[in-house]
Each structure stands twice: as C-alpha cells, then as structure tokens.
Structure 1
Amino acid sequence: MSKSLLLAWVTACIAMISSLYMSEVLEYIPCTLCWYQRILMYPLAIILGVAFYKQDLRVTGYALPLSLLGILISGYHIALQKVPALKELEACKAGVPCSQDYLNWFGFITIPMLSFIAFVIITVCLFFMKKQVSR
C-alpha cells in the first residue's frame, strides 16, 4: 500500500470538498482562475481514488501533468493577488476579479494559496511514487 498515493488522494478530496463548501455554503463566487484550478483538482480526486483502490502506482503518468499545471495556475493567481503591478495582466474580465481576496488569513493565506499548497502536496507525493515505480 502506498502512503504517498493515499496522502495525494486525501489532499485532493479535502481540496475539492473545501472548494465546494466555499462556493455552496459560504457563497463565495469563484473567479475564472478558481474554475481552472477546480477543473484540474476535481478529476485528481477521482483518478487518485481509483488508483488507490487498484493500487496502481503508474497513476503518476496522467495525474502529474494535472497537478503541475495546477501549481502554475494557482501560483499565477497568488501573484495576481499579492503583486499590485500584475493586476493589469488579470485574466478575469467579467464577473469576480481574480485579484479579489475572499479569504486572507495572516495576510498571506488565501484561497489560491490553499490550492497551491494542495497541488504541491499532490505533486510531491506523485514524484515519490514515480521514484518508487522506477526502482
């Protein structure tokens, strides 16, 4: 049994449930970049869950690209929120601006930061698994 795979799956599930809680219960309207992060995270919860059930450590081949892309998008989203000069490059033109902070704990923990941390945890777990498979 792979503990890395279990941690990656649990992380994806927590991220998915948290994002649904924020939008459906707290009624935070997701911006465009939040939707892109969800598009990458939600399938990971399913893919990693099935891989854990089947103990398929080869899941890294199709899960790793999703998590790496998630790191890039959430990193860009964090930069939009924290670097004022980047607001001119904002992708969100309609609806909720991507630079808006619904959540700002301790001045740096935002929703995209939580997403970034989840994608990093998943990516690190997948790299450990990839190393384990290649042995």
Structure 2
Amino acid sequence: MSNLTQDSRLWSLLFAAWLVALTATLGALFIGEVMGQAPCNLCWFQRVFMFPLAVILGIALIRNDGSVWAYALPLAGIGSAVALFHSLLFLKVIPEGITPCGQGPSCASADMSFAGLPLPILSLITFLAIAALLLAVRRKVTS
C-alpha cells in the first residue's frame, strides 16, 4: 500500500474521530448555553473528557499525527467509564446511591434525549466510537 493511501486512511480516521468529538462538544454546548439546561454532575465529568478531545483531535487532524491515539485514547476511555456508570444509573442497573441529576433537568426526562436515545447512553456511544476510531488509528500507525 502506498504512503499516500496510508496517509489518506489515517486522515479519514482522524477526521471521523474529530467530527464525533466536535459534534458531541457542540451538542453539549447547545444544550447548556442555548437551551439553558444545566448539566448534572456526571454530565460535567463527561464534558471534562469530551471537550479536550475535540481540540486535541483537531490539532492531530491538521498535523496528520497518528500518535494522537496515545494521549487521546485515555481521555476517551475514562469518559467511556463515566458514561457507562451514568448509563447504568439511568437504566437503574445500579441503585441510585448518589443523585446524578441533582441540579437542572433530569437526564431521564423526555426532552433530554436525541434521536430517541437518552443523553447518558448517547454519550457512552460517542466515547466508544471515538475509542474505536483511535484504536484503528493505532493499528494504522503501528502496522
């Protein structure tokens, strides 16, 4: 396979990861700033890991830097863990010993979903998609 083809595939994977992170970041900002919905504590923690991904992956995309997986994958992994915990609370798999939605609207309300998916589950899917794309970047770079 030529270097040009490898570079375009790497760029495509980086672009997809950045697009997912950027969309999630803009969506969270829209919900908070435009709709005026204050995020719950667990949503804040997820934002802490998502917002930097949009910036880091954007820079890696411009630089066509496949080594980004080494420092972006931990952010996606920790964000996935928080989102999984939040989703399990939402689905009532874990008893609600803490109140994840103590301020603002409940993540369980109907207006806190997109395309029929509640925000905690959508966040989990988003983090997992970014992680999968970063693992694909890792395979391209190390192969």
TM-score (norm 2): 0.83
Q: CA deviation at 1:112?
A: 1.1
Partner residue of 1:77?
A: 86
Q: CA deviation at 1:96?
A: 4.4
Partner residue of 1:35?
A: 44
Q: CA deviation at 1:79?
A: 0.8
Match of 1:103 among 112, 121, 125: 112
- Counterpart of 1:15, as a letter, is A
Structure 1 vs Structure 2 CA RMSD: 2.1
Partner residue of 2:126?
A: 118
Q: CA deviation at 1:118?
A: 1.0
Partner residue of 1:4?
A: 13
Does the residue aligned with 1:87 lie in a helix, a strand or coil? Answer: coil
Distance 1:85 1:61 in 2: 31
- Counterpart of 2:27, as a letter, is S
The structure-2 alpha-carbon separation of the partners of 1:56 and 1:70, relative to structure 1 and needing over 3 Å to count, comes to same
Distance 1:57 1:121 in 2: 17
Segments of 5+ residues of structure 1 without an aligned counterpart are: none
Identity of aligned residues (%): 32
- Counterpart of 2:50, as a letter, is M
Distance 2:139 2:91 in 1: 35
Alignment length, in residue pairs?
133
TM-score (norm 1): 0.88
Q: Tell me if 1:63 matches 2:89.
A: no
